[in-house]
């Protein structure tokens, strides 16, 4: 094993930064202009996190590729951090959007598509009732509120280093002394999150049982495998016991499939036959058009209905004037039936296997103490020799400086990974030559790093 030479990394990074800036004069001009009207020149705060001195501005995207304004072509493995897992502008979704946009976009009245989509969601995930939102964040927020209302309990439980969108209750981490505190970077939390939330490590059933035993947890909000701190897979039998313990303690189980839909057409839930009380999914289900949904069982629906008040049904913290709009529903209908199909997953998953094999071989050949994990059509490398068991192990393996170098090196050679960790996602348009190009670039980066 060769150890990392930090001064060398810093000098390689400097070289890559110069290359990035020199080759992108039009993006540079746009960021300079943007800085006069947008905070830091970008429309969303996290866009500053791209590894270059500024993000490449996009001219157009199609399928698994996009072009920046300077004419560079990129293989897109970030895919809008799953929002564009369908590939950019999938034909069937675009057609449905075109047609629906001429027939009304938002009405606050239902369209038949809402029933069609919920029937399709029933088939995929096995839950009976569905409601819509525009983001997975909102779908999580609404599910949590409903869980608190119907159980009459104040707290939720999440896993350490989880991410479920900008949901206040979830920005909490376990500190080495065992206390739960606001997560680093938490902006203006309304209350100390330990008031609202219990947090335990993923794969730690003893800690889970102890936390649930307090009897004050309305719901566990869980990704079935953590995907936002690298991939952390559940240990064998973990989900069966999670389900057993939540039932035993009267706690609802909400599974957030927003990213783990990578496991197949019915997400991890269908692939592993999970039995959640509620299920959330957003991001790719509208092919990139803002769309999200949350589903629940008959039992949960009965409890919601028993507390429902006609007079107050337009308030109460579950809302969104544009939620369930006709355009999103048309996009969801087309995406679910014609784009994110079983046939599409049958192509995407082998692409991720190919990506993983290439990365794994490079890790072995260059003897770096890294690891690669795959879940369906999503794969990720991690700067630790073995797969992490929980969020802390995964988070401890992160290396901001090294990560930025790998991302910038790839970006300078026409490959985009997600900016937050080392994730590659396959779309139905991802091709073997795209994957092989990544393997080559990854090998070249390692060669330079260990030289
Ligand atoms: C598992 C999971 N749930 C929910 C969200 C929130 O999605 P959005 O930002 O689209 O609301 C994310 C975002 O990354 C996520 O990873």
Q: pLDDT tens-digit profile of 53-107? A: 999 999 999 999 999 999 999 999 999 999 999 999 999 999 999 999 999 999 9
| pLDDT for residue 1 | 42
**β-pair partners for 285:** none
Position in ligand 1 atom list of the atom nearest CA 259 = 1
| Sequence-distant (≥ 6) Cβ neighbours of residue 263 within 8 angstroms | 224, 271, 272, 375, 376
| pLDDT for residue 20 | 98
CA of 282 to the centre of ligand 1 (A): 7
C-alpha 258 chain-centroid distance: 6
Q: Which residue has the tokens 């739960």?
A: 180
Burial call 107-144: b when 16+ CB within 10 Å, e when fewer: eeeebebbebbbebbeebbbbebbbbbbbbbbbbbbbb
Long-range contacts made by residues 48-52, C-beta under 8 angstroms, separation at least 24?
Answer: 49/419, 49/420, 50/407, 50/411, 50/419, 51/403, 51/404, 51/405, 51/407, 51/408, 51/411, 51/419, 52/17, 52/20, 52/21, 52/24, 52/408, 52/411
Closest among 81, 221, 218, 82 to 139, alpha carbons compared: 221
Q: Which residue's alpha carbon is at the smallest distance from atom 14 of ligand 1?
A: 165
Q: Which of 47, 283, 286, 288 to mutate to test the pocket of ligand 1 (most atoms within 8 A of CB)?
A: 283
Position in ligand 1 atom list of the atom nearest CA 82 = 14
- CA separation for the pair 118, 78 (Å, rounded): 28
| pLDDT for residue 2 | 52
CA of 138 to the centre of ligand 1 (A): 9
Q: Could you read off the pLDDT tens digit of each residue along the chain, which spans 451 residues?
A: 457 899 999 999 999 999 999 999 999 999 999 999 999 999 999 999 999 999 999 999 999 999 999 999 999 999 999 999 999 999 999 999 999 999 999 999 999 999 999 999 999 999 999 999 999 999 999 999 999 999 999 999 999 999 999 999 999 999 989 899 999 999 999 999 999 999 999 999 999 999 999 999 999 999 999 999 999 999 999 999 999 999 999 999 999 999 999 999 999 999 999 999 999 999 999 999 999 999 999 999 999 999 988 998 888 899 999 999 999 999 999 999 999 999 999 999 999 999 999 999 999 999 999 999 999 999 999 999 999 999 999 999 999 999 999 999 999 999 999 988 999 999 999 999 999 999 999 999 999 999 8
Q: Which residue's alpha carbon is at the smallest distance from atom 9 of ligand 1?
A: 165
Q: pLDDT tens-digit profile of 190-226? A: 999 999 999 999 999 999 999 999 999 999 999 999 9
Phi, psi (deg, nearest 5) at residue 241: -75, -35
Q: Which of 137, 280, 289 to mutate to test the pocket of ligand 1 (most atoms within 8 A of CB)?
A: 137
Task: Count other C-beta atoms under 10 Å from residue 436's C-beta.
Answer: 13
Q: Which residue has the tokens 């690891």?
A: 371
CA of 385 to the centre of ligand 1 (A): 28
CA of 261 to the centre of ligand 1 (A): 12
Q: Which of 45, 259, 267 to mutate to test the pocket of ligand 1 (most atoms within 8 A of CB)?
A: 259
CA of 133 to the centre of ligand 1 (A): 13
Q: 313 in helix, strand or coil?
A: coil
Q: Which of 258, 285, 286 to mutate to test the pocket of ligand 1 (most atoms within 8 A of CB)?
A: 258
Q: How many residues are present in the chain? A: 451
Q: pLDDT tens-digit profile of 382-416? A: 999 999 999 999 999 999 999 999 999 999 999 99
Taking a C-beta distance cutoff of 8 angstroms, is the pair 143, 254 a contact?
A: yes
CA of 256 to the centre of ligand 1 (A): 9
Task: Count other C-beta atoms under 10 Å from residue 323's C-beta.
Answer: 22
CA of 121 to the centre of ligand 1 (A): 19
Closest among 143, 128, 120 to 329, alpha carbons compared: 120
Q: Which residue's alpha carbon is at the smallest distance from atom 13 of ligand 1?
A: 165
Query: What is the residue-averaged pLDDT of the chain?
Result: 97
CA of 311 to the centre of ligand 1 (A): 32
| pLDDT for residue 316 | 87
Q: Which residue's alpha carbon is at the smallest distance from atom 5 of ligand 1?
A: 165
- CA separation for the pair 50, 199 (Å, rounded): 29
CA of 179 to the centre of ligand 1 (A): 25
| Sequence-distant (≥ 6) Cβ neighbours of residue 443 within 8 angstroms | 362, 365, 366
CA of 336 to the centre of ligand 1 (A): 19
Q: What is the pTM of this model?
A: 0.98
Describe the chain by its helix, strand, coil percentages, rounded to 5: 45, 15, 40
Q: Which residue's alpha carbon is at the smallest distance from atom 6 of ligand 1?
A: 165
Q: Within 6 Å (CB) of ligand 1, which residues are found?
A: 81, 135-137, 140, 163-165, 223, 228, 256, 258-259, 282-283
């Amino acid at each position: 094993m060769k150890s990392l030479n930090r001064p060398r990394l810093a000098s390689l990074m400097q070289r890559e930064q110069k290359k990035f800036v020199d080759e992108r004069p039009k993006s540079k001009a746009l960021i300079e202009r943007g800085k006069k009207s947008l905070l830091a020149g970008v429309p969303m705060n996290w866009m500053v996190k791209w590894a270059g001195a500024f993000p490449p501005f996009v001219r157009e995207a199609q399928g698994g590729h996009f072009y920046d304004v300077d004419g560079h072509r990129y293989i897109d493995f970030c895919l809008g951090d799953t929002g564009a897992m369908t590939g950019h502008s999938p034909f069937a979704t675009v057609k449905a959007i075109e047609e629906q946009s001429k027939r009304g976009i938002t009405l606050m009245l239902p369209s038949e598509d809402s029933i069609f989509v919920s029937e399709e969601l029933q088939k995929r995930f096995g839950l009976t009732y569905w409601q819509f939102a525009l983001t997975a964040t909102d779908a999580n927020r609404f599910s949590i509120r409903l869980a608190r209302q119907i159980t009459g309990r104040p707290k939720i439980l999440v896993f350490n280093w989880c991410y479920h969108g900008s949901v206040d209750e979830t920005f909490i981490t376990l500190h080495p002394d065992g206390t739960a505190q606001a997560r680093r970077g938490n902006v203006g939390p309304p209350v100390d999150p330990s008031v609202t939330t219990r947090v335990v490590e993923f794969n730690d059933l003893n800690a889970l049982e102890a936390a649930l035993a307090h009897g004050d947890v309305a719901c566990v909000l869980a990704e079935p495998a953590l995907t936002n701190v690298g991939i952390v897979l559940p240990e064998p039998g973990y989900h069966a016991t999670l389900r057993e313990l939540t039932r035993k303690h009267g706690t609802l189980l909400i599974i957030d499939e927003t990213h783990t839909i990578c496991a197949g057409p019915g997400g991890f839930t269908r692939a592993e036959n999970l039995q959640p009380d509620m299920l959330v999914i957003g991001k790719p289900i509208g092919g990139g058009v803002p769309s999200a949904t949350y589903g629940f069982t008959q039992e949960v629906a009965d409890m919601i209905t028993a507390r429902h008040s006609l007079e107050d049904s337009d308030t109460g913290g579950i809302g969104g004037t544009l939620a369930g709009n006709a355009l999103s529903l048309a996009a969801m209908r087309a995406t679910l039936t014609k784009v994110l199909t079983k046939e599409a997953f049958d192509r995407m998953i082998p692409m991720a296997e190919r990506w993983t094999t290439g990365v794994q071989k490079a890790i072995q050949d260059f003897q770096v103490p890294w690891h690669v994990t795959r879940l369906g059509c999503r794969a990720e490398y991690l700067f630790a020799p073995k797969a992490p068991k929980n969020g802390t192990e995964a988070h401890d393996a992160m290396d901001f400086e090294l990560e930025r170098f790998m991302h910038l090196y790839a970006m300078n050679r026409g490959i985009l990974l997600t900016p937050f960790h080392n994730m590659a996602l396959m779309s139905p348009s991802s091709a073997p030559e795209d994957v092989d190009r990544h393997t080559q670039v990854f090998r070249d980066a390692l060669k330079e790093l260990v030289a």
